């Protein structure tokens, strides 16, 4: 069993009740856990055979990466005594986060209006696939489905190969990050009003927001962006080019950067070439320009070009496999991989926070907890004596 160490950090005064599962919700709550909040993960007791612990994958990299720094309490929220324990926790909590189907919270009696009567200062966060109401509210929301519905797959990939999903759960993780920002916004507003509120976010809204300039192209200009493969949709040359031993990324669409690229390639004539001498012309003649650049760049190795472009201040970089990412000296310098000690797995690494604070850094204290690992400890904090805890366990409320 992991040993809880004292919390510290900018969110050490915040208590979060985590009802989330799978990815979007846990990605949100992880932000609070890493920055010092007391996060209590509410899980179903083992006998209920609910897969909110991801079954046998609990010791796998995904679960461990999502649920570090949390405590685990098992509660049967369908049992009146289990629900009573939850209500006691709500009374002193700052945040409740959930990503059930929109109707589940009301059936269980844990919806925002119900909990706000117990604790008016509560910030209640709901993550869903498509929103808490509307024509799609009851649809199951999955990252892959939303990538298609929100337009990402229509602009991602090569047009010769049809729609293409992103290689990671961009809608899930994005929704988690936006939700964490929304909760923090509500907590800051609470300092003025003294009241909590209901935070709502959906994977669909998140994915559209993350399309950013591609979505704005339609809203402003009624342009329907298409797939552009490894090329940037509008800024050329920005894309992938073959080298003598692999590939390299180059981003040189802006005029001054393009000039530096041409000089680094020892082709100053390309700067004033009549088909390539403006950003608009380069976008219009991208295929011809890419053919010229590819013929030059494939004559030298990736590392040779990286060195040359660095000297010339041209934006370029290798295309790394994941193992190469974590072997990169800059990645190691930034400390992206963070160590943890797990009671069964031993020393493990997880992905650290992508931002830092100078005085109050994030802290990885404990590995993901076992299901119900902290049930007795949390109940004792609420004032439950041993005999009452035993009775709750015997009837299946915890």
* Spatial distance between the Cα atoms of 337 and 349, rounded to a whole number of angstroms: 6
The residues, any chain, with a CB within 8 Å of residue 68's CB and separated by 6 or more, are 30, 33, 34, 340, 350, 364, 365, 366, 367, 368
Between helix 170-193 and helix 24-34 the angle, nearest 10°, is 50
Q: Spell out a b/e string for 277-314, using b for 16 or more CB atoms within 10 Å of the CB, else e.
A: eeeeebbebbeebbebbeeebbebebeebbeebeebeb
Contact, 25 vs 52, CB < 8 A?
no
Contact, 182 vs 209, CB < 8 A?
no
Between helix 213-221 and helix 203-211 the angle, nearest 10°, is 80
User: Which of 111, 143, 172, 231 is the catalytic position?
Assistant: 172
**Token pair for 56:** 């046998």
Backbone angles phi, psi at 41, to 5 degrees: -85, 115
**Rounded alpha-carbon distances, angstroms, from residue 323 to 319, 320, 332, 337:** 12, 8, 12, 12
* Spatial distance between the Cα atoms of 98 and 112, rounded to a whole number of angstroms: 11
Q: Which residue has tokens 């070009």?
A: 305
H or E element at residue 49: none
**Could you tell me which of 60, 57, 73, 67 has the C-alpha nearest to residue 23?**
67
**Rounded alpha-carbon distances, angstroms, from residue 396 to 83, 368, 386, 389, 390:** 12, 24, 15, 11, 10
The β-bridge relationship of strands 198-202 and 238-242 is unpaired
Whether 62 is catalytic? no
Active site residues: 172
């Amino acid at each position: 069993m992991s040993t809880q160490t004292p919390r510290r950090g900018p969110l050490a005064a915040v208590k979060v009740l985590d009802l989330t599962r799978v990815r979007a919700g846990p990605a949100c709550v992880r932000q609070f856990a890493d920055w010092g909040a007391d996060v209590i993960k509410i899980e179903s007791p083992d006998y209920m055979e609910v897969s909110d612990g991801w079954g046998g994958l609990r010791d796998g990299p995904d679960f461990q990466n999502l649920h570090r720094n949390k405590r685990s309490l098992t509660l049967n929220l369908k049992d009146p005594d289990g629900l009573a324990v939850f209500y006691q926790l709500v009374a002193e909590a700052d945040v409740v986060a959930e990503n059930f189907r929109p109707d589940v919270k009301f059936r269980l009696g844990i919806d925002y209006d119900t909990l706000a009567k117990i604790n008016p200062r509560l910030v209640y966060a709901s993550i869903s696939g498509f929103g808490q109401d509307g024509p799609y509210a009851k649809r199951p929301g999955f990252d892959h489905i939303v990538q298609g519905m929100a337009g990402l797959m229509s602009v991602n990939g090569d047009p010769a190969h049809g729609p293409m999903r992103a290689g990671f759960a961009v809608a899930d993780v994005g929704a988690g990050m936006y939700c964490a920002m929304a909760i923090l916004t509500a907590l800051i507003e609470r300092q003025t009003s003294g009241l909590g509120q209901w935070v709502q976010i959906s994977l669909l809204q998140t994915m559209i927001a993350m399309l950013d300039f591609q979505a704005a192209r339609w809203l402003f200009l009624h342009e329907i962006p298409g797939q552009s493969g490894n090329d940037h949709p509008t800024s050329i040359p920005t894309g992938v080019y073959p080298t003598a031993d692999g590939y390299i990324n180059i981003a040189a669409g802006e005029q001054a950067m393009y000039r530096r690229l041409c000089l680094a390639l020892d082709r100053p004539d390309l700067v004033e070439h009549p088909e390539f001498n403006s950003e608009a012309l380069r976008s219009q003649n991208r295929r011809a320009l890419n053919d010229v650049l590819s013929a030059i760049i494939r004559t030298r190795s990736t590392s040779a070009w990286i060195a040359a472009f660095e000297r010339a201040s041209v934006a370029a970089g290798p295309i790394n496999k994941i193992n190469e990412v974590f072997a990169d000296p800059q990645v190691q310098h930034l400390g992206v991989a963070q160590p943890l000690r797990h009671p069964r797995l031993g020393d493990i690494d997880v992905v650290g926070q992508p931002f830092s604070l100078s005085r109050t850094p994030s802290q990885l204290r404990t590995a993901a907890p076992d299901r119900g690992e902290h049930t007795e400890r949390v109940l004792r904090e609420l004032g439950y004596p041993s005999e009452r805890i035993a009775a709750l366990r015997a009837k299946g409320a915890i």
